[in-house]
Structure 1
């Protein structure tokens, strides 16, 4: 049994590892457990100005300067990975089956330069890099370890893993997303889900996707379509296109592509998700992508996946536990900000419970070399 841990975090995604870096930088003894290994495929790749502002605030508030690199594309490309894409705006295009996309039914929201430039994060690179930052500040990160049980008591928590280890900690944060151990063990999700939406999603990474400006009749604004997060909207659903290789110094040709549809209009069929996606795209003369080739397994991308995940629960905290929004609540990609919210809302709860008398931003932090 390992004693002396202040906070144990379940999940080494972006939320769990940013939190681990913040807490470890402030002197907390942190251990992160994850059943998978980095680098790995993940979606949740496009930032917005709100996200970048939170990254800057986290970096300043908790004195973790590495997090500030994530607040702009130029910082992320220089310090994290050249495989990230640049984001200068948001594009929305309405489509009708069998017809070319009408330029009059398109809109672009450019991001003002004063707000800096946003990023299309290749999450395999981003999450791996943040994990290394957490380790730099002293967090213990154990990959390939599956949690088999969590015990909550008056004096803290006990976590058991499939390799026979037991971890005792004062506080637990479950940042495991839809695989949340605490949400399942403590019944933290409403069944059936209270959200009354109707949606299902398919997503993957693709190669050889032709930039949108080479396909569209014209561009609805000053920003090239390939440097925007593209939203192709149609009756009963929408497709997102998030390019990573959209700047001269790009290191990746991958494009994140996904589709969310209303199953009442587009019922799920008993065919592979990739086949369904290709057949759906073929209904549009001006398709959202000109390539329908999923990236090979060497890139870390799984085949296109179909999902109907949704969950809700208002009570996400307790005496010695915290379940960030991405683990306890989710509706649809159209109205969900996870995984970013979990990494920005959990530090305060952990510091309060651990009884730190010195604020991690007061300047009285331990040296980390």
Structure 2
């Protein structure tokens, strides 16, 4: 690997500056993304290896980040298991056949790895194009987050139906989560076999859960997934919106990195974690709307706070919003790359 900054930081080694990549770095804030998106549906983009590679490479070529992340979606596992998935502009993902009864859970197929072969094919194309320049991150949605989309039938503000299942039918919820966890571990191992250099698990909606429910319905399945990964030389990043609350539990699953949202002091989180767990984050993405002087000052403030810390990857506390100016994202990455400890 020509640029080892990301992998070194993920394995808690000292780096001359923090490595940088950003969640949703290949996305809607880029005019070049829309040039592709206007020709194909979102699922066509994900399922056509050459197009997925084109999108994955956009931030590599245009932003000069230290790690690429596979262009895909957290819900492809739900679709592979039998979910009727569609994406509509302005609406988001929808499952036309929500999973709400024992019969629905029973019908989900866990022997569905062949349905996800297009992801392995995309990884191979991307790695040919990267040609050892920077690492490629693979990913999957965590079981609770995927479950919430399957049960709600799409996005939700309050996760009412999901929480009803957790509380009224916990055994059914566990059956559903166990199925998703099995598929997710196999899917991530498929990505590792295809050639990704790191893995991130996204539990995007964990913050909807109470402390006890997070332990029972999210953490135990992430722990199971990480324990089943072929992770030799492959760092595993655990992210959830809510990591500022749940970091101490997340650490019990033994990830290499915990990605932290912007609601916490990153150094305090790092110092409270077991030795050898790196942190990733945690700039508030809204700062990227601000003036460039503000962006630079906020990044430097974070870096001064983290000075001397081994195992720190710069990222946002969540993904880039679609209407953040491209130039601001590019500038933020330049600020990071010019910084030296």
Q: TM-score, normalised by structure 1?
A: 0.28
Structure (1 or 2) with the greater helix fraction: 2
Q: TM-score, normalised by structure 2?
A: 0.30
Structure (1 or 2) with the greater strand fraction: 1
Larger radius of gyration: 1
